[in-house]
Amino acid sequence: MELTPHLEAIRGDLESLIASDEGLATAFERMARPIEATLQLRLLDVLGDGALELTEQLPAGHTELRVSGRDAGLVYVGQPEAAPEPPPAPDDDDGGMARLTVRMPDALKSAIEAAADAAGQSVNAWVVQAARSALSQGHDPRRRGGGNRIWGFAQS
């Protein structure tokens, strides 16, 4: 939704109200830009409040206000699909062991050794525990870090 037509309509209404008074018209011309900026923020506040009210009424998902320049839009965002179950961590009780050779930078190896020492474990035990922890947290391939999205709600 482009906000410019709404801002121009409000400006036109104000100009028609003060057209008969030259002093007011001159003052309005000086204040037009600051008033327009304030009105744009207020319109975004109204849209944000509308998004919150819609979200409260939805059984699932939520509504987002997305702003790009003077364009604003309300977007329905559904519930994310359930993340796939991570593979079960192998039990210690199965008795089988495997050997794994890993190549890594010296700095990473030193950091792992320091972390294992701080935890009072061998490097092997620490790496096994870290691998189990990483596997139990799962991985959502749809989730990416970074990007240029802004999430949440802002209020002026």
Rg (CA), the chain: 29
CB 1, CB 71: distance < 8 Å: yes
d(CA 37, CA 32) in angstroms, rounded, equals: 9
For the chain, list the domains and their CATH numbers.
4-77 (no CATH), 92-137 (1.10.1220)
Res 147 pLDDT > 60: no
At 151 the pLDDT is 64
**Averaged pLDDT score across all residues of the chain:** 78
d(CA 65, CA 53) in angstroms, rounded, equals: 12
Other beta carbons within 10 Å of 72? 19
Vertex 30 angle, CA 26 and 32, to 5° = 105
Which residues lie across from 68 on neighbouring strands? Answer: 71
Which residues lie across from 64 on neighbouring strands? Answer: 75
Burial class, 79, CB count within 10 angstroms (exposed 0-12 / middle 13-18 / buried 19+): exposed
Query: CB within 8 A of 36, min separation 6: which ones?
Result: 7, 11
**pLDDT category, 56, cuts 50, 70, 90?**
confident
Is 20 or 154 the better-scoring residue by pLDDT? 20
Q: Cα 95 to chain center, whole Å? A: 45
At 114 the pLDDT is 92
**pLDDT category, 155, cuts 50, 70, 90?**
low
CB 36, CB 28: distance < 8 Å: no
Phi, psi (degrees; rounded to nearest 5) at 122: -75, 160
pTM over 0.75: no
Res 41 pLDDT > 80: yes
pLDDT tens profile 61-114? 888 888 887 788 888 888 776 656 666 655 555 667 888 888 888 999 999 999
At 33 the pLDDT is 79
**pLDDT category, 156, cuts 50, 70, 90?**
low
